[in-house]
Amino acid sequence: MNLARFLSPKSIRLEPISSRPEIPEDEDEVSKRDMQTYREEIIKENAQLLYNSKKVQNLSKLTVELVNRERRSTSIIGSGIAIPHVRTLQTKNFVMGFLRVSEGIEMDKEEEPIRIFIPMVAPPYDDKLYLKVYKQLAKGFLETDALDQLLGVYSEGEVIRIFNDVFRTI
């Protein structure tokens, strides 16, 4: 299956809009509250990318659902990759996005910083496609150099090309 068909340039961002919180001079690290706020801002950006596809009806409701889903259980698959996902009535179609965070963001103390987010949304009745895409993404990252390629892209078109070339053959 060609996963590139679920992406559009409007649903791809090569760097987040949200700014990582600064470390105050008198402290060694960012406060937990500031980091939690930043994590949620990144998840909100993922929701916005899905909404940019014009296939999601209500950004506010999708954002709440995606943030709540992430609070219950992180979507980290390992190697600096996360796939925030939710099934919702806010869409009638399966949609994917792509967000790269070059500096990485700690979503879980047990995992390495996340640099690639691939948000997904599907209607609640579309389990089959949703699970197939999730499996294809995980397998593609395990069996190819897709992560390195995606970390080095300079344009939205390159992201789509990689999804077309790499994830189609898995």
Domain residue ranges of the chain, discontinuous segments joined by +: 3-165
pLDDT at 26: 57
pLDDT at 170: 59
Look up the CATH number of domain 3-165.
Answer: 3.40.930.10
pLDDT at 85: 93
Q: Walk along the chain (170 residues) and give the pLDDT tens digit of each residue.
A: 889 999 999 999 999 988 766 655 555 566 677 777 888 899 999 999 999 999 999 999 999 999 999 888 888 888 899 999 999 999 999 999 999 999 888 876 667 899 999 999 999 987 789 889 989 998 999 889 999 999 999 999 999 999 999 887 65
- Total length of the chain: 170
